[in-house]
Structure 1
Amino acid sequence: MKRIIFASLIIALMFSGIGYAEYTEQTKNNGVKHQIKSESQITSQPAQVSLEKGKELMSNIEVLLPTYLPKNYKMENVIYNEPPAEFKNGVKLNIEAHKAITIRYRNQNDPSNWIDYTTKAAQVIIGDNDTQDLMIQGVEGQILEYPDKEIIALSWYKNKTNHFIISKGNITKEEILKFAESLK
């Protein structure tokens, strides 16, 4: 299966609440919960926050907003996530590099159509053989399309910030690129 499906699953789980049982550790002051499953496996339940709170939590990078949205799309919610500071086995993560904010935009006439824009400091590369390179906001980026599944993913790294967009539904490549270029 293609790696982008894995990213889609992660993002979908961020919004679903499925599979989150008892949480044994909660991070401080931001609402993200972590369930420790083993020494090296932790499941996170991201926190829904206001846009202002999300920008505050992501003070290490600039959170961009689009000046263009496809017709009938509106911001639905803002999700903040960060990894735990340390796994049971002692592995420590750089929270500043791996914390992320996802802003979901949904088509008000067809809720099955949405765009998720995720940003974080750590660089993310779409690792798939079908990925195509293209220029986004003046830097090299990647696009991956699954027309039969109505999925488009974009990723680019600019100003020490990773930008990742995934869309689901009958959104055209041109609309997603226009959305990406409009982020300011």
Structure 2
Amino acid sequence: MAEGNGTAAEAQPQVKMSVLAQFVRDMSFENLVAQKGLTSGEVQPDIQVAVSLDARKRPQDHQYEVITKFKVTSKNKTNGDTLFLLEVDYGGIFHVEGVPEDQLHPFLLIECPRLLFPFVRRIISDVTRDGGFPPLNVDTVDFLALYRQELARRAQAQNAAPTEQVTQ
């Protein structure tokens, strides 16, 4: 019986992952406070952070590009005016082997962004500080929960689509 267990363990491939490159694909920072000439006494910030993910296979074997997209909006609580808008698309090129095909999609959209997150957090902090605001330290993102929300959203959209077609 021990041999059977050892054989089963040997049959499963070992997961290998390495980060080949990291990069800012696109970034935009709009400081509307400076453009409008507001003073800090007139500002009570309300900050919203939206995160989206994208992953795709590269032409090379076992290579994938994963992009984390952060949209940070700060609005003035008193009047709803936008104070600043920061959009960052931060990517990584990953070499991934040994992940079963049915687990590859969640692996790319959960594990890879987890590795990229500290770097994009630092960029957001630096850009907001350099833009004249207190450095924004974005809360840790739960990429597993984000992935599950996206699956639920897609399932709901897919279930709703046939119903809409039938009622029309």
Q: Same fold (TM over 0.5)?
A: no
Query: Which of structures 1 and 2 has the bigger CA Rg?
Result: 2
Q: TM-score, normalised by structure 1?
A: 0.25
Q: TM-score, normalised by structure 2?
A: 0.27
Larger helix share, 1 or 2? 2
Larger relative contact order (C-alpha < 8 A, sep ≥ 6)? 2
